Structure 1
Amino acid sequence: MEKSKVYYSDLRARPGTNLPKKLQKLIKAAGIGNIDFEKKMAAIKIHFGEPGNLSFLRPNYAKAVADVVKELGGRPFLTDCNTLYVGRRKDALEHLSAAYENGFNILSTGCHIIIGDGLKGTDEVSVPVEGGELVKEAKIGRAVMDADVFISLSHFKGHEATGFGGCLKNIGMGCGSRAGKMEQHNSGKPTVDQKKCVGCGCCARNCAHSAISFTDKKASIDHSKCVGCGRCLGACNFDAVYNTNESAVKELDMKIAEYTKAVVDGRPCFHINLVIDVSPYCDCHAENDLPILPDVGMFASFDPVALDQACADACNAQQPIPGSLLDERMHAHGFCDHHDHFTNTTPESEWKVCLEHAEKLGLGSREYELIEIK
């Protein structure tokens, strides 16, 4: 079987060029022009970043992609679906305000912004998942499914539940409606190690469902209210919150792959990952920590599985940044080296499961040929 082609460009921008131009050169070399865009509506799925976070992709990259789509005759728009957790993107009005605050608008990107699952996150389409083991019908934002062509533009980074967030995470979780996100997260629900809890309240401030309460300055989680989104896991600085369901993380990864399958099946798709500002946690956080790894470059492919695999491999070839969370973990007492930067940062994650399951579903191949574009 022929290996999938993944195209790569470094981040050198010598006089006479710049990174948006290099991104355009990369995606053209990767074959985006082979898609028939003529008068087609093209969804560009991006994460607009939670206000307070500064590691999300700049609007300039979105404009570079949108301009190529328009050059090819297409009608692009930027999209994302509303979030499940507390924050500035849980309904379309706040979501748009957050996007504008972070610099995304028609002037900066050259195209409109449409929130994929509508005003309150309820405008969804039930999409059959061919071969789905855990999800038979995915709940996807209607505007995402209405598009003729689908493009993912992803910030490749760490993630507190899935190890890293790349192409598959951006599509599978990102395109799910609020109910779809809940379905993906509901396999497992975290609990609190009372001995480690210091009663700081950070977990409760990040819970959108009022599931966390305190007794004698110790947190506890009401599982009848908890939806398993994992925000408290990422919010706790003392490792007091943990997942009691060992299969939950694996099931989350599998559901993300199955939701991705629902989004991309049956229409032209193209995928881009930018491995820059590799923060340890998702851009859904209202802050960003020091990157755990140096910037690597820009990657593009028609194969979302090969794309994420190539980016993970490139990251694991880097040296950790001194003083980062990864570096801190690696110098902690009792550290167990997994020989994988994402697992070392978040030991409970199972990121390889997502790629393995995606490959099994026919989304792509983990075997790839890396082609560098100068």
Structure 2
Amino acid sequence: MGVNTPRRGVFVVKSPVYFASLRAFSDKEATTEKVRRLFDVAGFSDLIAPQDKTAIKLHFGEVGSDGFISPVYVRQVVEKVRECKGLPFLTDTNTLYLGARSNAVEHIGTAILHGFDYAVAGAPVIIADGLNGKNIHKVNIGKKHFNDVSIAGDIAAADSMIVLSHFKGHIVSGFGGAIKNMAMGCAPPEGKRAQHNARPFTIPEKCTGCASCMKVCPKDAITVKKKKSVIDHELCIGCFECMHACPEHAIDIDWETEIPQFMERMVEYACGAMKGKEKKVGFMNFLIRITPDCDCFPFSDAPIVPDIGILASKDPVAIDAASFDLVNQQQGYRDSLLTTHHHPGEDKFTGVHVQTDGYRQVRYGEEIGMGRRKYELIRI
């Protein structure tokens, strides 16, 4: 896989990443048609054998969020899988934090609320880690941080997988794309907890004792004492919900030591999600409504850059690298959470979350052999 390009007397192998812009001048250039064409040109039909139980991994969005991938686009992928005589199902896993996706009953209800029912999307919804997140399969990966990882049972059991990711920002990982979608999204709560090694702490001089953090903590790990929040690290699971909720930015984490490990742990989990499906996984990144934060939020903030298009590849590292570059090539919106780095070529994700290093996902993914960060962008 790839194209040999000479550079200083050596050949650099690049992974192909196919790109479709959102410009359209006829029905043949409709976005739905482009999704189908991307499936074809990226060679996804080679990944799916007849009767393959094919997981279509996506994020159904938290209640209140509207940045998730349209079920109309997902329907096109479902139909292409059926053309390959595969058996598609839409899937995600239960969340670590409390909310409308923390168990399969409410999770499926949220999916239906957002249009992911059979009538629209054309495939059943299966929450891959079961009713309460206990359907777990241990996968041996033998990496730096994990020898074994916990993957949702029904994703591990699937014969093939198409990963559909809404590319957007993230308060800790910088951005969320194909790698993060697999890492957190294919792990049950037990696996999510294992990735979240970082523990937040309170900055007393900023804390006003409003208790916003305490109200969202899923493990009752936060109390307010003498008008200051106190985090019990023995109870804390590192879900970062308190960081999101604090209006004073009085909760922080150790960006120097803990977050690099968190990023690497996340990438290793993504590797585990692919284990056993070598040459059976395809990826699409949707660079549409690129919000500053994750779709796990119960709201969607204004986009930080214009809509760009859709990418497809068999290489998760290359597709995230290409997505990162395409976002950063844009002129950023000033009337958004983007406070700096508005000009083309500047890192939009650190312009939103200054201490993040999203590209670390790409570097470490290449380091552990998940793919290549050098890519050839092929426009269709």
Give the TM-score normalised by the residue count of structure 2. 0.92
Please, which of 192, 195, 207 is the counterpart of residue 202 of structure 2? 192
- 1:202 and 1:61 map into 2 onto residues whose CA distance is 37
Q: Secondary structure of the equivalent of 1:3?
A: strand
Pairwise CA distance, 1:56: 1.0
Contact 2:151 2:187 (C-alpha < 8 Å) held by counterparts: yes
Q: Secondary structure of the equivalent of 1:2?
A: strand
Contact 1:249 1:350 (C-alpha < 8 Å) held by counterparts: no
Q: Secondary structure of the equivalent of 2:294?
A: coil
Q: For 1:225-304, what aligned pairs fall within 5 Å after superposition?
A: 225-244=235-254, 246-267=256-277, 268-304=280-316
2:377 — aligned with what?
A: 370
Residue 160 of structure 1 aligns to which amino acid in structure 2? I
Please, which of 84, 96, 102 is the counterpart of residue 72 of structure 1? 84
1:253-285 CA-partner distances (Å, limit 9, x unpaired):
111111111111232110000011111110001
Residue 167 of structure 1 aligns to which amino acid in structure 2? A
- 1:13 and 1:111 map into 2 onto residues whose CA distance is 28
Residue 379 of structure 2 aligns to which amino acid in structure 1? E
Q: Secondary structure of the equivalent of 1:79?
A: strand
Residue 356 of structure 1 aligns to which amino acid in structure 2? R
**Is the deviation greater in 163-172 or in 24-33?**
24-33
Q: For 1:81-230, what aligned pairs fall within 5 Å after superposition?
A: 81-130=93-142, 132-185=143-196, 187-230=197-240
- 1:71 and 1:245 map into 2 onto residues whose CA distance is 47
- 1:205 and 1:157 map into 2 onto residues whose CA distance is 26
Contact 1:305 1:359 (C-alpha < 8 Å) held by counterparts: yes
Unpaired segments ≥5 residues, structure 1: 332-337
Tell me the percent identity: 38
1:188-240 CA-partner distances (Å, limit 9, x unpaired):
20111122223333322321111111124322211111011112222223221
Q: Secondary structure of the equivalent of 1:94?
A: helix
1:62-100 CA-partner distances (Å, limit 9, x unpaired):
111111000111110010010001111011111111111
**Is the deviation greater in 304-313 or in 222-231?**
222-231
- 1:203 and 1:27 map into 2 onto residues whose CA distance is 43
Unpaired segments ≥5 residues, structure 2: 1-11
**Is the deviation greater in 24-33 or in 76-85?**
24-33
- 1:251 and 1:235 map into 2 onto residues whose CA distance is 24
2:363 aligned with 1:352: no
Over the aligned positions, Cα root-mean-square deviation in angstroms equals 1.5
1:350-374 CA-partner distances (Å, limit 9, x unpaired):
212221111111110000000001x
Residue 176 of structure 1 aligns to which amino acid in structure 2? A
Q: How many pairs align? A: 364
Please, which of 17, 37, 40 is the counterpart of residue 25 of structure 1? 37
- 2:64 and 2:366 map into 1 onto residues whose CA distance is 35
Contact 1:96 1:115 (C-alpha < 8 Å) held by counterparts: yes
Residue 78 of structure 2 aligns to which amino acid in structure 1? A
Contact 1:211 1:222 (C-alpha < 8 Å) held by counterparts: yes
Alpha carbons of structure 1 residues 240 and 330: separation in structure 2 relative to 1, 3 Å: farther
Moved over 4 A (4+): none
**Is the deviation greater in 211-220 or in 172-181?**
211-220
1:11 — aligned with what?
A: 22
- 2:76 and 2:98 map into 1 onto residues whose CA distance is 31
Residue 190 of structure 1 aligns to which amino acid in structure 2? P
Q: Secondary structure of the equivalent of 1:351?
A: coil
- 1:198 and 1:291 map into 2 onto residues whose CA distance is 30
Pairwise CA distance, 1:10: 0.3
Give the TM-score normalised by the residue count of structure 1. 0.94
Alpha carbons of structure 1 residues 35 and 244: separation in structure 2 relative to 1, 3 Å: closer
Contact 1:140 1:263 (C-alpha < 8 Å) held by counterparts: yes
- 1:216 and 1:15 map into 2 onto residues whose CA distance is 64
Residue 85 of structure 1 aligns to which amino acid in structure 2? Y
- 2:206 and 2:341 map into 1 onto residues whose CA distance is 20
Alpha carbons of structure 1 residues 330 and 355: separation in structure 2 relative to 1, 3 Å: closer
1:334 — aligned with what?
A: none
Residue 127 of structure 2 aligns to which amino acid in structure 1? I
